Amino acid sequence: MPQSTKQKTTLKMTRYDQLQRTVSKTPQHDMTLVMGDLNAKVGSDYEGRESAMGRHGCGNINDNGERLVDFCLSNRLVIGGTIFPHKNIHKLTWNSPDGNTINQIDHVMVNKKWQRSLLDVRVYRGADVGSDHHLVVSKIRLKLRATPPTKKRHKVFDTHKLHTPEIKHEFALELRNRFQALENLEDEGEQDIVETTWNTITKVYSETAEKVLGYRKRKDKEWITPETWRNIEERKRAKGKMLNTKSRRAKDIYRNKNKEVKRSARRDKRAYVEELASEAERSATRGELIKVYRITKTLCNQNSACSVPIKDRQGKLLTNEKEQAERWAQHFEEVLNRPEPDEPADPAPSEDIPINTDPPTLEEVETAIKAMKNRKAPGIDAIQAELLKADCATATLLLTDLFAKIWEHEVIPQDWSKGLIFKIPKKGDLSNCNNWRGITLLSIPSKVFCRILLKRIDSVIDPKLREEQAGFRKGRGCADQLFALRNIIEQCVEWNSPLLINFIDFQKAFDSVHRESLWKILRAYGIPHKIVTIIGKFYEHFECNVITGNSLSKPFCVKSGVRQGCILSPILFLITIDWVMRATTSDRPRGIKWTPNMYLEELDFADDLAALSSVRTSLQEKTDRLSDRGKQTGLYINKKKTQVMYINTSTDPPISINGEALEGVGTFTYLGSVMSGTDGTQRTLKPA
């Protein structure tokens, strides 16, 4: 539907308002360049507008031109295309499709303070861009301040070459030769021997990988065929003839050649997409889900590593790379460091449970190495799982020796206490840091060590956890909790029984766990002191850098929560939430009658809790106790996202936390599935 004049005017005002907000947030001392196809003819009459334009404009001003000039006057900007004397053909930026109308509607503007740095603005008609707009080029002279060197992130080794048997053999041979120096390594003190051994391992792996494998290079598959490139060259020549002769025949030849190029490019793109889709289908058949995911991202044109200017706390746009790095570090430091509880949990230690406290064995290390997943991003040491697996026997011997020293001296390498935060965009305004989430990359060899600890702990501690918890447990999953909850709702609806469900949401649960409370809870569950001490070493001086482009931000300490990306984090969190729920429900039953001798208090999946009760006062008491016990471990309930479902019972008075009423709902999305208070599931069909 065509837009009315009023709609067009409103749209123009909205866009200029957005542009104004952006320009207003730009620091005054910075050079500001505004460029684009503004559909604005500013004309050649510059009287009264001298501060915004020069005397070398073209044609007559239009309504869009008036808006642009007013915008430039308000922001002390100068329209570059009107300053420099050129032939009209080097100023006019657009040709109408019929070739009869030419205008200057694409502009480059610079703030008045930096006008002398703008040396020239002109049109280059010979650039073949397949558009009715010509290329506008600006020449700028700047003296750039030298920036201090920043810490560069490690490049990623090309481990794909290890699929070739000859290269894999060469890598293993080179690795063994280089590690002979380790046999003569002498102890240099408790801290030094661990750090020295680790530094030798990282150095030899890095040097061997660099020599044999090299670094991974980005490869963009060429989807444009040679035939299309030939057509593009012919179009370029046709455009030159058209500009020189201006004959109708030359225009027709160029127009036809341009159509041919576009048809050919569409055909190439279609063939490329079909080839990718076929490859994704073949990969799915072979179970190569990572490859399917990668192809899907390519087809959807998604780039998780996109880079956009961000804003500081006051909303000011940061364009300097150093300032952006500092802002990212500041943001994630705030996100990953939560307030400490006023009254931390202090449970008494229990008798040790039968967990092996001997140093890791060769068999354990070998099993852990083989269990590591390939194609995972490495930590700050740049050692990938594929490098360890390329010669598993050598890696097993080396890491077993290192792990034994760590076990004896109870110290870990410094690299194991460092994480790299990789930013991933969410929805919304990406200039706002809150619309990004971070993934922490940790050392792969440290994960091998943690996997050994996990295997020792998990098999012994799992039977001690409450049956209500299904998260991160073997043989349990979301489907179990969804099935149980739907059945409970259906039975209550069928028998007209009262039921209240409080869907609890904790604020940044995994990042909020109070560590000192966690260590005491581990001892209360009987985890041996040796194991708790070694786990604590990973957290003692844990710090992170944010990856910004190809460099790293300054490090910052992370003092709360379980470590993102660590294999041990799920079980540590489960033990914490298990203690919280035991403390909440230990005094008396407040749930629903599950069997003649048993009450079901809640259904848990990690930090997603659905607290159950058939009596409003019981659910209120349970919610209050859960809030209090959670605070002792650093877990705070998010009152805005916590919602209550009332089934066959009154909503008055509502369930509350510290006097603040929680929202009552008829449906709730639990573990990705919509729960309804009428029949347990959402059956509403959207109209076609």
Over residues 312-322, the mean pLDDT reads: 83
From 246, 277, 299, give the residue that closes a domain: 299
Over residues 540-562, the mean pLDDT reads: 92
Predicted pLDDT of residue 290: 77
Would you say 118 and 519 are in contact if contact means Cβ atoms under 8 Å apart? no
Q: Locate tokens 């110290």: which residue?
A: 411
Three-class DSSP category at 436: strand
Q: Is residue 401 part of a domain?
A: no
Q: Which residues pair with 52 in a beta bridge?
A: none
Predicted pLDDT of residue 386: 96
Q: Phi-psi region for residue 658, left (φ > 0), alpha (ψ -120 to 50) or beta?
A: left
Q: In whole angstroms, how far apart are CA 142 and each of 30, 121, 409? A: 12, 15, 56
Predicted pLDDT of residue 685: 37
Band of the pLDDT at 414, cuts 50, 70, 90? very high
Query: Residues, the chain, total?
Result: 688
Q: Indicate whether 1 pLDDT > 70.
A: no
Q: Indicate whether 186 pLDDT > 60.
A: no
The contacts found for 211-214 with CB under 8 angstroms, 24 or more apart, are 211/174, 212/161, 212/167, 212/170, 212/171, 212/174, 213/157, 213/158, 213/159, 213/161, 213/162, 213/167, 213/171, 214/157, 214/158, 214/161
| CATH label of the domain that carries residue 24 | 3.60.10.10
* DSSP state at residue 660: E
CA distance 45 to 55: 7
Q: Locate tokens 């650093």: which residue?
A: 634
Band of the pLDDT at 2, cuts 50, 70, 90? low
Predicted pLDDT of residue 315: 84
Q: Is residue 381 part of a domain?
A: no
**Mind giving me the DSSP string for 413-428?**
-GGGGEEEEEEEE-SS
| Range of weakest confidence among 126-130, 445-449, 559-563, 655-659 | 126-130
Same domain assignment for residues 108 and 246: no
Stronger pLDDT, 245 or 66, i.e. the higher one: 66
Band of the pLDDT at 317, cuts 50, 70, 90? confident
Range of the domain at 640: 483-506+575-676
CA distance 468 to 591: 12
Residue 418 amino acid letter: K
Over residues 25-32, the mean pLDDT reads: 84
**Average pLDDT in the chain:** 90
From 299, 315, 347, give the residue that closes a domain: 299
Over residues 19-37, the mean pLDDT reads: 88
* pLDDT tens figures, 348-385: 999 999 999 999 999 999 999 999 999 899 999 999 99
Stronger pLDDT, 212 or 287, i.e. the higher one: 212
Q: Is residue 609 part of a domain?
A: yes
Band of the pLDDT at 216, cuts 50, 70, 90? confident
The predicted model scores a pTM of 0.79
Q: Locate tokens 């300054």: which residue?
A: 554
Q: Is residue 61 part of a domain?
A: yes
From 284, 299, 314, give the residue that closes a domain: 299
Same domain assignment for residues 131 and 232: no
Same domain assignment for residues 22 and 121: yes
* DSSP state at residue 113: G
* pLDDT tens figures, 51-64: 999 999 998 999 99
Band of the pLDDT at 462, cuts 50, 70, 90? very high
CA distance 472 to 607: 11
| Range of weakest confidence among 425-429, 493-497, 597-601 | 425-429
Q: Is residue 117 part of a domain?
A: yes
Q: Is residue 195 part of a domain?
A: no
* pLDDT tens figures, 217-264: 866 667 889 899 999 999 999 888 888 887 888 888 988 999 999 999
Torsion sign over Cα 670, 673, 674, 679:
negative
Where is 569: in which H helix or E strand? helix 569-585
Would you say 607 and 485 are in contact if contact means Cβ atoms under 8 Å apart? no
Burial 89-125 (b: 16+ CB within 10 A, else e): ebbbbbbeeeeeebbbbbbbbbbeebeeebeebbbeb
Q: Indicate whether 280 pLDDT > 60.
A: yes
Share of the chain above pLDDT 90, in %: 68
Share of the chain above pLDDT 70, in %: 93
Predicted pLDDT of residue 146: 62
* pLDDT tens figures, 574-605: 999 999 999 999 999 999 988 888 899 999 99
Q: Locate tokens 């021997």: which residue?
A: 193
Say how many domains are in the chain: 3
Q: Indicate whether 151 pLDDT > 70.
A: no
Where is 333: in which H helix or E strand? helix 321-336
Burial of 304 (0-12, 13-18, 19+ CB in 10 A): exposed
Band of the pLDDT at 553, cuts 50, 70, 90? very high
Residues 6+ away with beta carbon under 8 Å from 233: none
Predicted pLDDT of residue 239: 87
Q: Is residue 215 part of a domain?
A: no
Q: Is residue 493 part of a domain?
A: yes
Q: Locate tokens 């008609």: which residue?
A: 125
Predicted pLDDT of residue 686: 43
